[in-house]
Amino acid sequence: MTNSSSSSTIVPDTVWLGHGRHLGPEAERDVRRNLIALKAAGVIDAFLDLDPIEAARSTDLFPRDESADAGPGARRLFEARWRVADGVTVRAQLTTYGSESRRVESEGVTWVLAAEAERAWEASWPSPATVFWPDSDQVDWDHERVPGVRLRTTNHLPKDDGELRRLLRDCTRQSWFIHVVVHEAMTPDARGRRPITAFLPPSLRHRVVEHRATPEQALIADFAMKRELGVGLPRGGAVVLPPTPRVPGYDTERFTVRDVFLDGTEPTELLQAITEFASLPLPLPADAEQVLTRLRQGWHLLTPDEELVHARAMVTKYAKALEAMTASCDLYREAAESALAALAEATSGDNASRTPTPATAGQDTSPLKTLTKTFALFRSPNR
């Protein structure tokens, strides 16, 4: 998960992040159907389907700020809760966004996903992406925010040098995912065309984008990558692309694999390199900070115990607010009485006749109005 405008904050080891586009006609319907099916099968404990505006209005469990809101263009907010190994609870939010500025339907619906577990995330856990999206080739939810790039498949590099370099820049600056380039030493058969991401553990599988360079692209891909990213592509090998800017711990040799056999067998060395890269302390993308804040501060799907804690917290909150209002009212009344007494003393004697009589004061018992009238009398030009 990388981004050029990343913050100094490191992605917590309890968090899983995703950002993509759905190109089908009914994105929210696909999410809803998948959540209903998983709930019926007992895979997840519960889920919510919320309107973002109403969700923002109803959130009062935690202190709020604007970064906890879904933001402009949000269409739906989905929440799900499930348990993984040893009963560890995972909470996740997926938000879909309309493309108000788009002019062509092919740009689809943008989605962002954040999930957080009660302890450090394990790659063997189910992928949060397939909790919300069906893991089916017939549902086009897995398109990267970088145009022309997808998860769950192999993406062949552009033939044009300029397009290739532009793609490399976008993938290392804009994407939240890990990008890997594999060079095909020779044209593979059906088994070799199978994505290497299929061999990855479930939670890591949907964090990795695989690019392929054809046999004749060896030199042009190697040259473009060295010029743009400072890493080379071995002939018949692979490399895990570094984020821009580079993160501490990235070493070119460590994340370069000299030989990858695309014959359908498990590429153990490459899988190990990807797993090691995923374990690096990667910076939290700047546009992911709001997503993570919303997950933590804008959560709605409470357990019964959490609802009880929430109710008690709200009782305490309102009791303190009422106490503060009462104290403020008492202080105001004391200040008003002191001011009236001072004015009465200052206007005694010759101006005594101008001091409001008890009968007059009794017509309006508001301290503020009484004080205002007294000041007006004290400043009278007829004095």
Handedness of CA 143, 146, 147, 151 (dihedral sign): negative
**Residue 313 confidence class, pLDDT cut points 50, 70, 90:** low
Rounded Cα gap, residues 135 and 131, in angstroms: 9
Rounded average pLDDT over 212-226: 96
Q: What is the CA radius of gyration of the chain?
A: 31
Q: What is the mean pLDDT of the chain?
A: 85
Question: Distance of alpha carbon 250 from its chain centroid, rounded?
Answer: 25
What percent of the chain shows pLDDT beyond 70? 80
The tens digit of pLDDT for each residue in 265-310 reads 999 999 999 999 999 999 999 899 999 999 999 999 998 666 666 5
Of 141-155, 172-186, 273-287, 346-360, least confident by mean pLDDT is 346-360
pLDDT 10s digits, 9-43 = 899 999 999 999 999 889 999 999 999 999 999 99
pLDDT in tens, 327-348: 788 788 888 888 888 888 888 7
Output the CA–CA distances (angstroms, integers) from residue 109 to 75, 131, 289, in the order listed. 9, 18, 21
Cα 54 to Cα 66: distance, rounded to the nearest angstrom: 15
Q: Residue 205's pLDDT is what?
A: 96
Predicted local confidence at residue 4, as pLDDT: 42
Query: How many residues are recorded in the chain?
Result: 383
Q: Within a 10 A sphere around the Cβ of 255, how many other Cβ atoms?
A: 21
Distance CA 350, CA 297 (A): 64
Encoding tokens for residue 122?
């394990």
Q: Find all residues with CB under 8 Å of 256, minimum gap 6, and list them.
A: 231, 232, 234, 237, 238, 239, 240, 273
pLDDT recorded at residue 362: 47
The per-residue DSSP string of 9-44 comes to EEPPTTEEEEEEEE-SS-HHHHHHHHHHHHHHTTSS
Number of Cβ within 10 Å of residue 72's Cβ equals 9
Residues in contact with 28: Cβ distance below 8 Å, sequence separation at least 6, in sequence order:
49, 75, 76, 96
353 CB contacts (<8 Å, ≥6 apart)? none
Query: Is 224 within 8 Å of 164 (Cβ atoms)?
Result: yes
Q: What is the pLDDT of residue 204?
A: 97
Q: What is the pLDDT of residue 311?
A: 62
Residue 219 Cα distances to 18, 185, 205, 262, 320, angstroms:
32, 12, 29, 19, 70
- Phi first, then psi, for residue 232 (nearest 5°) are -105, 165
In this structure, how many other beta carbons lie within 10 angstroms of the beta carbon of residue 305? 8
- Give long-range contacts, CB 8 A cutoff, 24+ apart: 69-72: 69/294, 69/298, 70/95, 70/294, 70/298, 71/97, 71/290
**96: nearest Cα among 113, 114, 84, 81:** 113
55-76 pLDDT per residue, tens: 776 654 444 455 567 777 899 9
